Chain A
Amino acid sequence: MTQRTINLIRHFLAVALIAAGLAAPASAQLRVRVDEGNFQPTPIAIPDFQVTGANGELAKQIVEVVRADLASTGLFDLQNPASFIQRDLTINAEPRFADWKIIKTEGLVVGAFEDLADGKVAVSFRLWDVYGGELMRINGEPGRRLTTTPENWRRIAHKISDSIYQRLTGEDPYFDTRIVYIAETGPKTARVKRLAIMDSDGANQEYLTSGRSTVLTPRFSPSAQEITYMSYEGGKPRVYLFNIETGRQELLGNFPGMTFAPRFSRDGQSVLLSQAQRGNTDIYIMNLRTRESDRLTDHPSIDTSPSMSPDGRSIVFNSDRGGSPQLYIMNADGSQRACPSGGRDTACRITFGKGRYSTPVWSPRGDLIAFTKQEGGKFYIGVIGTDGKGERLLTEAYLDEGPDWSPNGRVIVYFREARPGASPQLWSVDLSGRNERRMTTQTDASDPAWSPLLQ
């Protein structure tokens, strides 16, 4: 055997050994499963917008509303602009991701504000994924540009917040909305209750009625143009329709008895309400076009607070037919349905807990019903599945009442009296039970209702 052959064999063996050594671990892959997270608000950075034109002040106001909207969700940690390292961001350049990774920014909003020649203003913005080092598309687009008149600047800000919120959470938006409520003033013995409206963040508060007659339980129509509520005008509690734009109020229907607890149907064509007559309270539905009404329940018990499902096929309401106020679901056409507790009936009970359940409201998502619960001297706002399962109490107080859903079904607004004798204030809570926060209003406030997204 030649030396060369020996060398060949030697090297061959060496290679084989090395190859074996290198190859062996390559197929061993560590497999891990993670199913428990750690909820932390996502750090996002919204630097001041680049400004073209003279209206720097307006640009500042817009970015502040955007930051406040996103911070109010409790899902984001709005990073302090003083901590930003990169100061030369422009709308058309990639950010220096390293500068943002250092301060742990996960989402970066870069915006630019322009004064346009025709007097309008335009805001453009992009959203960057810092750790992925790439642009986050908004509805498939690499950015968005919104234009409007300067007076409308708040709506631009809310629409920007809506885009960012939607892209980062996957939820439908809800900032470009309004909340109607009852503004209360005066001593407890002579309370003045007026219909009031404000933006979802508390700005632009206005009174809609004079306060001459007491107004209760206002509710928005799906078009956001009309409100229905109960008023004691004329001394008798009755349901009215109020047109926000024209300010006109009209009595709904010619019911002989007292009518209250109105709510629009999901298509806005009808109003559900309760009528109390000769000691019995039942639920009716009135078609707004034909002005004809149908009776939906016919039971000696008190049936009230109806709320329709998003698909218009079912109605949840409060009834004491079982002995105490509980929640029931019925088919809108009055037909029988299979009950979660077994059997079939025209109205199926879904709550069975101790305590009294009232003011049910069907979530716009269709899967949950929010309610007020009273037990052991305390009040709670809770949610329950439409099959009666998964009851969760989200808040607890001396008095928490009257929940209503944001249009994306993520946030619940309600009113609270913190202690005996305290005045009512509006509060909101996230569906997860987190982020309970007070909504500031100029006066005491109760009975809130959330509008759909404004067109």
Chain B
Amino acid sequence: MFRGLAVSTLVHASVLAMAMLSWPQPESQCDKAIDKLRREQPGIRSIEIVMQLPECATSADLPIDFEDVGLVSNVSELRKAPEPVDEALPPPEPEVEEAPAEAPPEPAAEPEEAEAVPDPRAKPQEVKKPEPKKPEPKKTEALIKKEPPKKKEDDLAFLDDFDKALQDKRQARPRAAAQATPDRPAIGNAGRDREGAGDRSGNTASLQASVRRQIGFCWRGIEDLPKEDQIDVMIRMQLATDGSLIGSAELVSPKSRPAGRSGLAVDLALRAVRKCAPYNLPEDAYEQWKDIEVTIGPIQE
């Protein structure tokens, strides 16, 4: 009999224990209210729960719906500015970029065939009708067009063009230099005196110092990046005789923009080189500075 009693007690005790253990935990008011809403409105979204029960909004439970839809539209479908017919302009020489900063906004202002359409914004510039895209660098274009030898079929007559090219080159430069001054509008380049006396000498050391100073002025510096992200960035740039960039300067090292903060060092270096053009360097030493390899980075210990 006692055994039966013991067994019975044990069974009752365990049943009671199980009942107590599985007794539902007390819910907070908010949990209850939220559950009720979910039952009454199946599929209700978190944001609607928040709007109906603002006092129960905690970021952890009911997150704000932030959607990161990356593709606002496919980049490749982006069209260029609607007018004016940038696309209709004669395709530029692939190497030549429009002169930055003081380039007049005329691609935005007028159709390319209009010789006589007055553009209120075009006042500061005189020479642009014949070659609407490139006011000053047209002399550069002339140079570049002529350099690549024109190959002709017959025997050696093509060599005559070399002679001609050499002569033209010699003539074009003093001509261009003479033209440069009256053409050049003052906007954006105010304060940069092209005839700066200090830059007259063409020797390498002073050219290096001049380029270093100009780029250093345009470069924001990377002192506030962590030390390991302050990397050297090597950029190759080719300049026209007026100091403007031919093409857009290219990254040599690192080979591509790294992810992470060191990518920023690359961004800042490229931006400095691009926005600093046109560079103020003596034309008579052009051969020495037309191709520059600049390394921008932290002070080497």
* Chain A residues proximal to chain B, CB less than 8 Å: 7-8, 11, 14-15, 18, 21, 25-26, 28-40, 42, 85-86, 88, 91-96, 98-99, 101-102, 104, 106, 120, 124, 126, 129, 131-133, 135, 139-149, 152, 155, 159, 169-171, 223-225, 245, 365, 367, 431-432, 454-455
**Cβ A170 vs Cβ B275 within 8 A:** no
Could you show 30 A-B contacts with beta carbons less than 8 Å apart?
A: A25-B288, A25-B290, A29-B292, A29-B293, A30-B211, A31-B293, A32-B215, A33-B294, A34-B294, A35-B297, A35-B298, A37-B220, A37-B221, A37-B272, A38-B220, A92-B73, A92-B77, A93-B79, A94-B78, A96-B105, A98-B98, A124-B72, A129-B271, A142-B70, A142-B72, A144-B69, A144-B72, A145-B68, A170-B261, A224-B59
- With A31-B293, A86-B108, A245-B58 already in contact, the answer to whether A144 and B299 are too (CB < 8 A) is no
A25 to chain B, nearest CB (A): 4
Distance, CA A184 to CA B67, complexed state (A): 40
Which residues of chain A are near B69, meaning CB under 8 Å? 144-145
Docked Cα-Cα span, A11 to B100, in Å, equals: 41
Closest Cβ neighbor of A37 among chain B residues = B221
Query: Which stretch, B3-11, B34-42, B155-163, B175-183, touches the partner chain A?
Result: B155-163
Residue in A closest to B28 when the chains form the complex, CB atoms: A246
B264 touches A (CB below 8 Å):
yes
| Residues on the A chain within 8 Å of B219, using CB | 34, 37-38
Decide if B263 is an interface residue (CB 8 Å cutoff).
Answer: yes
CB pair B187 A102 closer than 8 Å = yes
* Bound-complex Cα distance A8 to B64 (A): 82
- Cα distance A60–B59 in the bound complex, in angstroms: 26
With A36-B216, A131-B271, A141-B70 in contact, do A98 and B105 touch (Cβ < 8 Å)?
A: yes
Closest residue of chain A to B274, judged by CB?
A131
Please tell me if the beta carbons of A432 and B223 are within 8 angstroms of each other in the complex. yes
* Cβ–Cβ contact A30 & B100, under 8 A: no
Given contacts A32-B293, A102-B101, 8 further A-B pairs with CB under 8 A are: A21-B166, A25-B290, A40-B220, A92-B73, A102-B188, A131-B270, A135-B75, A141-B68
Q: Which residues of A contact B224 (CB under 8 A)?
A: 431-432
- Give the number of residue pairs across the A-B interface with Cβ within 8 Å: 216
Which one of A30, A99, A102 lies within 8 Å of B208 (CB-CB)? A30
What B residues does A39 contact at CB under 8 A?
220-221, 223
For B187, the chain A residues whose CB sits under 8 A away are 102
Task: Give the distance to chain B from A229, nearest Cβ to Cβ, in Å.
Answer: 20
B81 within 8 A of A: yes
A75 to B245, CA, bound (A): 27
Q: In the complex, are the beta carbons of A15 and B263 less than 8 A apart? A: no
A245 to chain B, nearest CB (A): 5
Answer whether residue B63 sits at the interface, using C-beta atoms and an 8 A cutoff.
yes
Report if B260 contacts A (CB, 8 A).
Answer: yes
Judging by beta carbons under 8 Å apart, are A142 and B75 in contact?
yes
Confirm or deny: B204 has a beta carbon within 8 angstroms of a beta carbon on chain A.
yes
- Contact indicator A30/B108 (Cβ below 8 Å): no
A21 to B271, CA, bound (A): 34
Which chain A residue has the least Cβ–Cβ distance from B245?
A: A131
B295 and A32 contacting across the interface, CB-CB below 8 Å: yes
Does B107 touch A at the CB level, under 8 Å? yes
Within 8 A of A (CB), among B43-98: 47, 50-51, 57-60, 63-75, 77-82, 86, 98
Most central of B74, B107, B204, B271 by chain A CB within 10 Å: B271
- Inside 8 A of B86's CB, which chain A residues have their CB? 96
Instruction: Name the distance in Å between A86's Cβ and chain B's nearest Cβ.
Output: 7
Give the shortest distance, in Å, between B253 (CB) and chain A (any CB): 13
Contacts of B162 in A (CB 8 A): 14-15, 18
In the assembled complex, how far is the CB of residue A96 from the closest CB belonging to chain B, in whole angstroms?
5
Q: A145 CA to B291 CA in the complex, in Å?
A: 43
Q: How far is the CB of A12 from chain B (nearest CB, A)?
A: 9
Q: Tell me which residues across on chain B come within 8 A of A133, comparing CB atoms.
A: 248
- Cα A86 to Cα B294 in complex, Å, equals 33
Contact A132 B248 (CB under 8 A): yes
Residues of B within 8 A of A146 (CB): 66-68
- Whether A101 contacts B293 by the Cβ 8 Å rule is no
| List of A residues within 8 angstroms of B71 by Cβ | 141-143
Residues facing A in B147-177 (CB within 8 A) are: 156, 159, 162-163, 166
